[in-house]
Amino acid sequence: MDSTLVSTLIGGGIALAGSFVTSWWQTSRQSRLAREERLWGRRAELYVDLLRADLNAMLPRGEYFPGFDPLSPDTPEMKARRLELTSRVDAFASTEVRSCWHAVLSRQEDLEIAAMQADEVLDPEEHAEYMGSPERLQPLEGAQDVLRSRVRAELDPISGGASRLWFRRLRRPTRELT
């Protein structure tokens, strides 16, 4: 065999193998990107739902907080919504958001336990004042704030969910009041 023919066959084989590898790599990359895009769509929808959800309305013993009728029990709709959000968080949320969500649920449970214990020793007026006190609500509100900021950071990774920087505000045109 002629060396020119051998080198042509080897070069052709390498080119063919290269095109197959490139094609396989592109296909797998596009498949991965499509899968990530579908996941991100579901995740973004979940995050918007989490931000939209009134977390206080989903409290197991939410009737002890301002704006609630003390005689209204936790509704089946509230329980179903909390369960549905929890299952979606477990399925689609990032690890950080998942841990923040479960921290909120844990604080809600702690508050429910405190409410049940206070039920036994306080009359209704004292109970509402005790459960509505800022020091009683602060751990839950703090966990909710962490959850909201984490969700915002994941929805807008460039700014991290933070407000605009002060020097960007300076560049905005201002209207003069006349």
* Tens of pLDDT, residues 58-111: 554 444 444 444 334 566 777 788 889 899 999 999 999 999 999 988 888 887
Q: In angstroms, how far is CA 103 from the centroid of its own chain?
A: 12
Nearest to 110 by CA among 82, 137, 86: 137
**C-alpha to C-alpha distance for 71 and 63, rounded to whole angstroms:** 7
pTM attached to this predicted model: 0.64
Where along the chain do its domains lie? 41-171
pLDDT tens, residue by residue, 126-141: 766 776 677 877 888 8
Give, in order, the Cα–Cα distances in Å from 13 to each of 8, 9, 20, 24, 142: 8, 6, 11, 16, 63
Q: Where do the H-state alpha helices sit in 93-156? A: 95-121, 124-131, 134-155
71 or 48: which carries more pLDDT confidence?
Answer: 48
